[in-house]
Amino acid sequence: MGVGLKPDESKLVKDYILLPLLLDVLEKDRGILSAAALKMPVITNTIIERLQKAVLADLSQVRRDMRQRGLKVYEERKTRLGVEVEFLCRGYHHKLSMLWGLVESEIEQRSYTYLALDIVDKGREF
């Protein structure tokens, strides 16, 4: 990051990147699961809907917080390697990049957090 960027501002931009990607993953999973012959489809859909509502609420808050702090993303790119954004913070230009492996890991961890699950060993032990 560059001059004048505080850690909580960096977190806001990171959330601005990750939360929409998490919504995309949830919607894709919903489509896949709706085509599957699930034993308990109502429960599965309810879990996805709750996750989506929580993510949308957080994304709305992130956008409000960014506006209040004068953070503005002006370019966002998905590349072969990951996601890149360029943004303004108090007149300074900044760039944030996240590799796809980190994005996937963060999305998975946030999903566990939204569900209030304490996952050990990448989801193999509950």
What confidence tens digit (pLDDT) does each residue in 76-96 have?
999 999 999 999 998 899 999
List of long-range contacts for 7-10, beta carbons under 8 Å, 24+ apart: 9/69, 9/71, 9/89, 10/96
Q: Is the pLDDT of residue 2 over 60?
A: no
CA distance 47 to 100: 25
Average pLDDT, the chain: 89
Among 103, 105, 116, 108, smallest CA distance to 50 is for: 116
CA distance 70 to 91: 9
Q: What percent of the chain has pLDDT over 70?
A: 90
Q: Is the pLDDT of residue 125 over 80?
A: no
What's the mean pLDDT in 63-86?
96
For residue 1, give every residue at least 6 positions away whose Cβ sits within 8 Å of its Cβ, in sequence order, or none.
10, 94, 96
Which pLDDT band holds residue 27 (cuts at 50, 70, 90)?
very high
Q: What is the pLDDT of residue 6?
A: 87
- Which is more confidently placed, 42 or 107? 107
CB 22 within 8 Å of CB 112: no
Which pLDDT band holds residue 122 (cuts at 50, 70, 90)?
low
Q: What is the DSSP letter of 71?
A: E
Instruction: Report pTM.
Output: 0.85
